[in-house]
Homo-oligomer: A and B are copies of this chain.
Amino acid sequence: MATRDGARTREAILRAAEELFARQGFDATSMQQIAAAAGVARATPSYFFGSKAGLYDAVLARAVDRAQTAIVRAYEARDGSGAPEDAVEAYVDALLSFFGSDQIFVCLIQRESLGDGSRVSEFFGRFVDDAVAALGPTAAEAGVSPQRLVLDLVALCWYPFAHEHTLVPALGLDPRDPAFAVEQRRHLGDLMRALAALRSSSSGRTQTP
């Protein structure tokens, strides 16, 4: 029963490949390494996925799928309810928990963004549409464009995980520490509240106060 199971073998190869592609990158990872890590023969990954590029595409599609599933769940978890001020904290929560739980996704996307990004442009298009729709009211309240709010929030949530071996440890911080996520969420919520307060008090564009 377990001796020959195409689905299970496929899964093992995908699992091994995504780990290696994420850690080492496409070019630094050989089919030999993938096969060894998956516990199959050298030719088996090619048998199932046709080519190295085909295997990589499958790995990337899988990671993107995980992200989209997580996003959908996060949106429907607070569908409709909640004040627009809380939207930022909920959004930050969702981003931080997903990025923190799926390091492989972060690495793969980071590597893609060092290329031309064409393989993930569709994903980002949908992501932006959803995010702008969800954060539009909050952005209006804070007096910033929705695009800039999304950019800021994603940047602030993404960076700590994308640079957890460079700037972040040099600052003495650890993005995997639960306390970090808690503090980050509160910190970004403070920022939004502060912006909204500044906006309502000065009632216009701040040129030179």
Chain A, 158-209, CB within 8 A of any chain B CB? 158-160, 162-163, 165-173, 183, 187, 190-191, 193-195, 197-198, 201, 206, 209
Contact of A168 among B107, B112, B151 (CB under 8 A): B151
**Is A7's CB within 8 Å of the partner chain B?**
no
Chain A, 87-136, CB within 8 A of any chain B CB? 107, 109-117, 120-121, 124-125, 127-128
Chain A: interface size category: 35 or more
A residues apposed to B, CB below 8 Å: 25-28, 107, 109-117, 120-121, 124-125, 127-128, 144, 147-148, 150-152, 154-156, 158-160, 162-163, 165-173, 183, 187, 190-191, 193-195, 197-198, 201, 206, 209
The 5 closest A-B pairs by CB, nearest first: A155-B159, A117-B165, A194-B194, A27-B27, A194-B198
